[in-house]
């Protein structure tokens, strides 16, 4: 068995941002239009007027202040309310591949590794742009990486599940280096016309480079242990899929976008994640008190505050459990990796930390690391 280390990470951040106020202005204009168009039905009691959203609610309920998006114009157009992407020809790089390559190059450059020395590319994300060829194979080709590549989807846990998959292959000796890439174009799966969730997501791509930890001397994070778990639930669900085209009903169906029962998710996922982390630390013989940092999935600030307190047995000190939600919103599987990438450079040799993501499935994945 070989040891594994994370030697580099990279984050691609779209330049366009949308504040809560901008988002709420567009949403409220959309509801005003809709209510005017449906005034007769609302007056007759056969339709319900759509209520306004509010920036104060969004910050209080989620901790989100703004989000980065690949296209804001379509989302802020009250007559449209979804992003506008110009379709790309088959001989052009896909959207996911393009942003994934950007994040991957940053991770490779952080570790000073040549792309040709990468043996495995995993594209792990909540949605795939097409059925095949795998986005990962396109990324492998655009980078000029060697070996092989494949896609994985474990929703918000895709990054940690990808890290465990790559780490296991490095441990077994079948590969030496792997890139786990998480291009999350969440804006395309969000229903921007649904008040309950229109503020939740942003776009981003992250990449994590894992290597066999032999002869490495540069700053890195040793992977001490990884653990994944799943338990079926319908509370976060998206029914979009290829069988859609085999049904007669091709109308604009709400269930073809992200759907969640947020309250139930809150109640059910918190104990699941807290227990998962406690058991993982116990089995790895690591006391929670010895963790310098938690890089948690970024879906909701209250949720993360709760998990941080439960794991550490006290309220985390500022910096012990970094949040990037205010700036990025929920970026699905990429969230914990953004937090890790942006808030880990100050750690000293021997400091331990835990990356943890959770979400649809339900799924939860954790990675215990130590600075070396």
Q: How far is the CB of 81 from ligand COA (least distance, A)?
A: 14
| Residue 348: how many other CB atoms lie within 10 Å | 7
| Residue 171: how many other CB atoms lie within 10 Å | 16
Pairing mode, if any, of strands 352-359 and 363-371? antiparallel
Among 31, 165, 260, 321, binds ligand COA (CB under 6 A): 260
Q: If binding is defined by CB under 6 A, does position 363 make contact with ligand COA?
A: no
Q: If binding is defined by CB under 6 A, does position 187 make contact with ligand COA?
A: no
Largest CA distance in the chain: 75
Is 111:218 a contact under the CB 8 Å cutoff?
A: yes
Spatial CA neighbour of 317 closest among 341, 292, 343, 352: 292
Q: How far is the CB of 265 from ligand COA (least distance, A)?
A: 4
Q: What string marks each residue from 112 to 131 as x (binds ligand COA by CB under 6 A) or -?
A: --------------------
Q: From the CA atom positions of the chain, what is the Rg in Å? A: 21
Q: How far is the CB of 143 from ligand COA (least distance, A)?
A: 28
Q: Give the number of C-alpha atoms closer than 13 A to the C-alpha of residue 239, restricted to the C-beta side.
A: 12
Distance CA 336, CA 294 (A): 9
How far from chain centre, in Å, is Cα 354? 16
From 99-107, 257-265, 345-353, 363-371, span contacting ligand COA (CB under 6 A):
257-265
Q: How far is the CB of 362 from ligand COA (least distance, A)?
A: 9
Chain residues 28-47 in contact with ligand COA, contact rule CB under 6 A: none
Pairing mode, if any, of strands 120-124 and 177-185? parallel
Chain residues 274-333 in contact with ligand COA, contact rule CB under 6 A: 299-300, 303, 330
Among 22, 65, 102, 196, binds ligand COA (CB under 6 A): 196
Q: How far is the CB of 18 from ligand COA (least distance, A)?
A: 14
Closer by beta carbon to ligand COA, 159 or else 178:
159
Spatial CA neighbour of 311 closest among 364, 249, 259: 364
Q: If binding is defined by CB under 6 A, does position 262 make contact with ligand COA?
A: yes
Q: How far is the CB of 175 from ligand COA (least distance, A)?
A: 30
Among 20, 53, 160, 187, binds ligand COA (CB under 6 A): 53
From 5-13, 50-58, 72-80, 282-290, span contacting ligand COA (CB under 6 A):
50-58
| Residue 292: how many other CB atoms lie within 10 Å | 17
- By beta-carbon distance, which residue lies closest to ligand COA? 262
From 203-211, 244-252, 260-268, 273-281, span contacting ligand COA (CB under 6 A):
260-268
Q: How far is the CB of 53 from ligand COA (least distance, A)?
A: 4
What residues are paired with 120 via a beta bridge? 148, 178
Spatial CA neighbour of 11 closest among 109, 91, 95, 93: 109
Show the tokens assigned to 184: 């999350």
Find the helix packing angle between 262-283 and 301-312, rounded to 10°: 30
List helix spans (H) across 145-243: 158-172
Among 125, 180, 265, 311, binds ligand COA (CB under 6 A): 265
Spatial CA neighbour of 230 closest among 153, 304, 282, 306: 153
Q: Check if 156 is active-site.
A: yes
Q: If binding is defined by CB under 6 A, does position 77 make contact with ligand COA?
A: no
Q: Is the peptide bond before 362 cis (omega within 30 degrees of 0)?
A: yes
Among 154, 156, 311, 354, binds ligand COA (CB under 6 A): 156
Active-site residue, from 123, 156, 186, 197: 156
Distance CA 52, CA 355 (A): 37
From 68-76, 91-99, 103-111, 263-271, span contacting ligand COA (CB under 6 A):
263-271
Residues marked as catalytic: 156
Judged by the rule CB under 6 A, the positions of this chain that interact with ligand COA are 53-54, 57-58, 61-62, 156, 195-196, 236, 260, 262-263, 265-266, 299-300, 303, 330, 359
């Amino acid at each position: 068995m070989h040891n594994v280390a994370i030697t580099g990470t990279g984050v691609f951040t779209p330049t366009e941002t949308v504040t809560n106020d901008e988002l709420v202005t567009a949403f409220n204009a959309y509801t005003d239009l809709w209510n005017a168009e449906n005034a007769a039905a609302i007056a007759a009691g056969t339709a319900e007027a759509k209520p306004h959203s509010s920036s104060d609610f969004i910050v209080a309920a989620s901790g989100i202040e703004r989000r980065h998006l690949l296209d804001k114009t379509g989302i802020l157009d009250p007559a449209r309310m979804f992003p506008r992407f110009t379709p790309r020809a088959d001989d052009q790089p896909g959207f996911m591949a393009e942003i994934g390559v950007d994040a991957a190059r940053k991770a490779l450059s952080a570790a000073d590794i040549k792309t040709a020395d990468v043996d495995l590319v995993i594209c792990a994300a909540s949605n795939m742009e097409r059925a095949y060829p795998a986005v990962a194979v396109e990324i492998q080709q655009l980078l000029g990486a060697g070996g092989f590549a494949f896609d994985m989807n474990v929703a918000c846990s895709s990054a940690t599940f990808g890290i465990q998959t790559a780490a296991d292959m490095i441990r077994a000796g079948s590969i030496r280096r792997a890139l786990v890439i998480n291009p999350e174009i969440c804006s395309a799966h969000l229903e921007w016309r649904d008040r309950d969730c229109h503020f939740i997501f942003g776009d981003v791509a992250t990449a994590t480079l894992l290597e066999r930890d032999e002869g490495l001397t540069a700053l890195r994070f040793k992977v001490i242990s990884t653990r994944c778990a799943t338990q079926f639930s319908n509370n976060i669900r998206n029914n979009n899929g290829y069988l859609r085209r085999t049904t007669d009903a091709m109308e604009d169906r709400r269930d073809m976008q992200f759907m969640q029962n947020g309250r139930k998710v809150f109640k059910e996922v918190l104990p699941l994640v807290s227990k998962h982390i406690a058991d993982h630390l116990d089995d790895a013989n690591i006391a929670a008190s010895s963790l310098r940092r938690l890089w948690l999935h970024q879906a909701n600030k209250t949720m993360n505050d709760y998990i941080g307190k439960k794991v550490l047995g006290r309220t985390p000190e500022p910096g012990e459990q970094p949040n990037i939600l205010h700036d990025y919103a929920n970026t699905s599987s990429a969230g914990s990796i953004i937090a890790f990438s942006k808030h880990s450079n100050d750690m000293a040799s021997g400091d331990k930390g835990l990356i943890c993501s959770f979400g649809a499935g339900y799924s939860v994945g954790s990675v215990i690391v130590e600075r070396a």
